[in-house]
Amino acid sequence: MNIKEKNDKKEAFLSPDQITFHQKEKDQNNTAPGISKKKVTTPNNQKTDKTLEIVPVITKSVLQNNEKQLAEIQILKELLKAKEQLLINHVNAINTTNASIEFDLEGNILSVNEIFLAIMGYSEIDLLGKHHSVFVDPSYSKSNAYKLFWSSLKKGIYQKDEFIRVAKNGKMIWLLGSYTPILDTNGKPYKILKIATDITLAKTQFLQLAVQAQEKEKRASELVIANKELAFQNVEKEKRAAELVVANKELKFQNEQKEQRAKELIAANKELAIQSKEKEKRAAELIIANKKLAAENILKQKRKVEKEKRAAELIVTNRELAYQEKRTKELTLANDELKKAQEELEAFSYSVSHDLRAPIRAINGYTQILIEDHIDAIDDDGKNVLNGIIKNSNKMGVLIDDLLAFSKLGRKQVSAVNINMKTLVTGVISDLTIEKDENTPLFEIDELAPANGDPSLIKQVWINLISNAIKYSKYKSETRIKITSTSKNDKIIYSIKDWGAGFEMEYYDKLFGVFQRLHSQDEFSGTGIGLAIVQKIVNRHHGTVWAESKLDAGAKFYFSLPDIKH
Amino acid sequence: MNYDDIEILFAEDSMEDATLTIRALNKSGFTNKLLHVKDGAEALDFMYCKGIYSERNPKSHPKLFLLDLKMPKMSGIQVLEKIKSDAEFKSIPVVILTSSQEDPDIAKCYSLGANSYIVKPVDSNNFFNAIKEMGMYWMILSQPAL
């Protein structure tokens, strides 16, 4: 039920008491005197005692009476004025705090006070002569309830309630007030006075509260329903859960049954498999047994063959062992022989030096005797021959000495000490004997890195190399010799360069051979042992010797020795 | 032959070396009485007055031994050892002659008390000079005190 309907209802059904009450008021109003010419609003319960009608009289007595009457009138007038003032005050008092508006019996607006205008948002001009229906919703103004409302007022029925009205701006205004029919002197309603108070704020709040309360109630009831629904659902759920538990149990049981059956089937299958395997096994065993028998037969034969083979192998092994034994013996023998050979070689070296030298010495010596003591008996040709014998026997002596020195190198213990190479080379140079036909060499010696080696042997290397450089430069206008060293990996590489005769690289492989010579004896004397000794010494130091040359453009010899850091 | 007053006892199996050595000494002006023996055994016979030398005066000692190392029967080193271990002879200077610098006994000779050694050179001139120098040195050193 909406507010408007409630409004209509309230206005439509007035209680019998109210009606009775209005009747009484009507009765009271009937007794009070009314002023027909002047519209004065008086409260219903206000009792006005007298209403005077003034009628002119022209006689003397009448005049005297008139004066008397005039005086009385004057008094009455003043009395009236006073009463009127009271009334106005009364009305003003009401108007000060209440909204008021007057309608004729049809509902047209007769007057309106400032408060009412303020509440409803109208100006006086807007409203005067307009019908009451401007304040109500059109749906209400057209309704029977509205007509009944006004017809009740016309009949003089008093209306008091909370009314919902529409302001100029369309806003709903709640008014607490009363529609009071004002009666004329005859006791008949001639206009309707409405006095009201704006209760919109309180009402709105109240309604809101009511709505909220209603909402709450609604929600509470909805909650109750929802709770009931939930409870029902829970019960359902529990029921279903219980059903599920039962179903699960059933399923589990069925699964277990299935599993058991599966197990039984597996077991049965296994049993079958085992049985068939057993059968297969037995069959296989039979086959194996057959095979074994066959194999044993083969094996027997094989063993026989193997025995024969082993016997043969044993024979071979025995032979091998015998051979190895023989080899060992041979090796031992070879070793012994080697030792013996070495001893023999040493003996041979000694013998060479001792026994070969003796006859040569004798030849040389006897020839010398011929030259010294019997020279007169020998002609010039004979003298030349004797000189040839001396020269060659001397050379034979040198060859023997060189060969001996070379073979000695192979046996000599090589010591390894830190050699100050610069000092060593300088020493070798200062001890040099320059032959008559040789140039005095010009040396250019770099800072030479030290090396590990046997000083006496390395000294021999330098003697041989420097001597060679001098010897093979003797046909040049000057003899220049350059000596340098470089470090490479764990080796020191020494080099000696000359600008002498050089050699052809074609014969390089003969360069370091024993008694190998690349030049004629007439050109350059020598036995051909010098570079062989150099190579042997360097090799015994785990080094290498090599050379590069171009015929007639000099030669450069290199040899490497262990770095002192290694 | 009179074996007394022998100044140089020269043991050498090689006739050629002996001839050349003696010639070199003679040519160098050494006129000292020299006895050449063919091996070590004969050298010791002489020293101890044995064999063919039994008749000689045992009090007469040579002033210098020239001893070749490699000899038949008894090597020079054995002779050296014997002489140097005998108090009567050990003051007599011994010069070892050898054909080779490589002779392994050279070091042993020194340890046994040899006073010097000479490697006989092939070159006859060098050989002559070596013998001459040796002779001069030792014979002059071994002059008896006047």
String of DSSP letters for A54-123: -----SHHHHHHHHHHHHHHHHHHHHHHHHHHHHHHHHHHHHHHSEEEEEETTSBEEEE-HHHHHHHT--
The answer as to whether A502 is a domain residue is yes
Lowest mean pLDDT among A54-68, A276-290, A436-450: A54-68
Q: By the 8 A CB rule, do A444 and A557 touch?
A: no
- Shortest distance between the Cα of B5 and any Cα of chain A, in A, equals 29
Dump pLDDT digits (tens) for A28-68: 444 444 444 444 444 444 444 455 555 555 666 767 777 78
Report d(CA A388, CA A363) in Å as an integer.
Answer: 12
B122 and A397: CB-CB below 8 Å? Answer: yes
A394 and B100: CB-CB below 8 Å? Answer: no
The answer as to whether A349 is a domain residue is no
Residues in A touching B19 (Cβ below 8 Å)? 365
Q: For chain A, what percent of residues have pLDDT higher than 90?
A: 20
Is residue A141 within a helix (H) or strand (E), and if so which, with residue range?
A: helix A138-141
| Domain termination site, one of A146, A177, A198 | A198
Q: DSSP string covering A147-182, please?
A: HHHHHHHHTT--EEEEEEEE-TTS-EEEEEEEEEEE
The answer as to whether A132 is a domain residue is yes
Query: How many C-beta neighbours within 10 Å does residue A368 have?
Result: 21
The answer as to whether B24 is a domain residue is yes
**Band of residue A545 on the pLDDT scale cut at 50, 70, 90:** very high
Q: β-pairing, B34-37 with B8-11? A: parallel
A364 and B122: CB-CB below 8 Å? Answer: yes
Q: For chain A, what percent of residues have pLDDT higher than 70?
A: 88
What tokens were used for A372? 């010294």
The number of domains in chain A is: 2
Averaged pLDDT, A70-86? 86
Q: β-pairing, A172-183 with A159-166? A: antiparallel
**Band of residue A24 on the pLDDT scale cut at 50, 70, 90:** very low
B122 and A390: CB-CB below 8 Å? Answer: no
3-state secondary structure of B20: helix
Predicted confidence at residue A422, as pLDDT, reads 94
Q: CA nearest B69 in A: which residue?
A: A354
Averaged pLDDT, A395-416? 80
Q: By the 8 A CB rule, do B69 and B109 touch?
A: yes
The answer as to whether A41 is a domain residue is yes
Residues in B touching A360 (Cβ below 8 Å)? 122
| Mutation target among A354, A367, A374, A400 for the B interface, most CBs of B within 10 A | A354
The answer as to whether B2 is a domain residue is no
Residues in B touching A394 (Cβ below 8 Å)? 122-123
A353 and B101: CB-CB below 8 Å? Answer: yes
Report d(CA A50, CA A52) in Å as an integer.
Answer: 6
Averaged pLDDT, A340-368? 79
The number of domains in chain B is: 1
Predicted confidence at residue A334, as pLDDT, reads 82
Between helix A530-540 and helix A455-471 the angle, nearest 10°, is 150
B102 and A408: CB-CB below 8 Å? Answer: yes
Q: CA dihedral in degrees (A532, A533, A534, A537; nearest 10)? A: 120
3-state secondary structure of A198: strand
The answer as to whether A361 is a domain residue is no
How many CB pairs below 8 A link A and B?
71
The answer as to whether B52 is a domain residue is yes
The answer as to whether B146 is a domain residue is no
The answer as to whether A390 is a domain residue is no
Residue A29 or A514, more confident: A514
Residues in B touching A367 (Cβ below 8 Å)? 124
Report d(CA B62, CA B42) in Å as an integer.
Answer: 14
3-state secondary structure of B107: helix
Residues in A touching B129 (Cβ below 8 Å)? none
Averaged pLDDT, A537-546? 92
A358 and B14: CB-CB below 8 Å? Answer: yes
The answer as to whether A538 is a domain residue is yes
A394 reaches B (C-beta below 8 A): yes
Dump pLDDT digits (tens) for B14-57: 888 898 889 888 888 887 889 999 989 999 999 999 989 988 88
CATH number at residue B40: 3.40.50.2300
Q: CA nearest B14 in A: which residue?
A: A358
A394 and B123: CB-CB below 8 Å? Answer: yes
Averaged pLDDT, A488-502? 93
Report d(CA A414, CA B125) in Å as an integer.
Answer: 35
Lowest mean pLDDT among A36-50, A435-449, A461-475, B61-75: A36-50
Q: β-pairing, A451-453 with A417-419? A: antiparallel
- Shortest distance between the Cα of B75 and any Cα of chain A, in A, equals 14
Q: CA nearest B124 in A: which residue?
A: A365
Dump pLDDT digits (tens) for A168-200: 888 888 888 899 898 888 888 889 999 998 888
Residue A479 or A50, more confident: A479
| Mean pLDDT over the full length of chain B | 85
Report how far apart, in Å, the C-alpha atoms of A86 and of each of A42, A52, A180 are.
10, 18, 21
Tell me which residue of B13, B1, B45, B34 sits closest to B131, measured CA to CA. Answer: B34
Residues in A touching B119 (Cβ below 8 Å)? none
Dump pLDDT digits (tens) for A215-234: 888 888 888 888 888 888 88
Report d(CA A171, CA A362) in Å as an integer.
Answer: 167
Query: How many C-beta neighbours within 10 Å does residue A522 have?
Result: 6
- Shortest distance between the Cα of B137 and any Cα of chain A, in A, equals 23
Residue A522 or A43, more confident: A522
Report d(CA A29, CA A37) in Å as an integer.
Answer: 18
Averaged pLDDT, A256-277? 82
**Band of residue B119 on the pLDDT scale cut at 50, 70, 90:** confident
Predicted confidence at residue A53, as pLDDT, reads 54
B23 and A369: CB-CB below 8 Å? Answer: yes
Name the burial class of residue A452, with classes exposed (0-12), middle (13-18) and buried (19+) by CB atoms within 10 angstroms of its CB: buried
- pLDDT surpasses 80 at A549: yes
A361 and B127: CB-CB below 8 Å? Answer: yes
Angle at A84 between CA A83 and CA A90, to 5 degrees: 90
A13 reaches B (C-beta below 8 A): no
A350 and B100: CB-CB below 8 Å? Answer: yes
**Band of residue B1 on the pLDDT scale cut at 50, 70, 90:** low
Report d(CA A414, CA A410) in Å as an integer.
Answer: 10
The answer as to whether B3 is a domain residue is no
A393 reaches B (C-beta below 8 A): yes
Lowest mean pLDDT among A55-69, A362-376, B53-67: A55-69
| Mean pLDDT over the full length of chain A | 82
- Shortest distance between the Cα of B48 and any Cα of chain A, in A, equals 30
B99 and A397: CB-CB below 8 Å? Answer: no
Q: CA nearest A349 in B: which residue?
A: B102
Report how far apart, in Å, the C-alpha atoms of B52 and of each of A109, B1, B47 are.
203, 10, 11
**Band of residue A429 on the pLDDT scale cut at 50, 70, 90:** very high
Q: Between B99, B121, B127, which is nearest A354 by CB?
A: B99
Long-range contacts of A243-249 (CB under 8 A, 24+ apart): none
Averaged pLDDT, A505-525? 82
B16 and A400: CB-CB below 8 Å? Answer: no
Averaged pLDDT, A268-290? 80
A353 and B102: CB-CB below 8 Å? Answer: yes
A527 reaches B (C-beta below 8 A): no
Dump pLDDT digits (tens) for A418-428: 999 999 999 99
Dump pLDDT digits (tens) for A106-128: 899 999 988 999 889 998 888 88
Predicted confidence at residue A14, as pLDDT, reads 44
CATH number at residue A157: 3.30.450.20
Residues in B touching A357 (Cβ below 8 Å)? 99-100, 120, 122
- pLDDT surpasses 60 at A140: yes
| Domain termination site, one of A198, A225, A251 | A198
Q: CA nearest A355 in B: which residue?
A: B99
Report d(CA B124, CA B134) in Å as an integer.
Answer: 15
Averaged pLDDT, A519-540? 85
B127 and A359: CB-CB below 8 Å? Answer: no
CATH number at residue A442: 3.30.565.10
- pLDDT surpasses 50 at A253: yes
Residue A437 or A13, more confident: A437
Name the burial class of residue A264, with classes exposed (0-12), middle (13-18) and buried (19+) by CB atoms within 10 angstroms of its CB: exposed
Question: What sections of A516-566 are H helices per DSSP?
Answer: 530-540
Averaged pLDDT, B55-72? 88
**Band of residue A565 on the pLDDT scale cut at 50, 70, 90:** confident
The CA-to-CA distance between both ends of chain A, in Å, stands at 120
Which residues form the domain of B26? 8-141
Which residues form the domain of A126? 3-198
- pLDDT surpasses 70 at A308: yes
B99 and A361: CB-CB below 8 Å? Answer: yes
Q: By the 8 A CB rule, do A223 and A231 touch?
A: no
Strand partners, A373: none
Strand partners, B96: B67, B117
Query: How many C-beta neighbours within 10 Å does residue A189 have?
Result: 20
Chain B residues within 8 angstroms (CB to CB) of chain A: 14, 16-17, 19-20, 23, 70, 98-104, 120-125, 127-128
* Residues whose CB falls within 8 Å of the CB of residue A467, separated by 6 or more in sequence, listed in order: A432, A530
Tell me which residue of A142, A147, A177 sits closest to A163, measured CA to CA. Answer: A177
Predicted confidence at residue A468, as pLDDT, reads 93
Q: DSSP string covering A346-414, please?
A: HHHHHHIIIIIHHHHHHHHHHHHHHHHHSGGGS-HHHHHHHHHHHHHHHHHHHHHHHHHHHHHHHHSPP
B14 and A397: CB-CB below 8 Å? Answer: no
Q: CA nearest B18 in A: which residue?
A: A362
The answer as to whether A100 is a domain residue is yes
| Domain termination site, one of A198, A218, A246 | A198
Predicted confidence at residue A302, as pLDDT, reads 80
Q: For chain B, what percent of residues have pLDDT higher than 70?
A: 94
Residues in A touching B98 (Cβ below 8 Å)? 354
Predicted confidence at residue A447, as pLDDT, reads 92
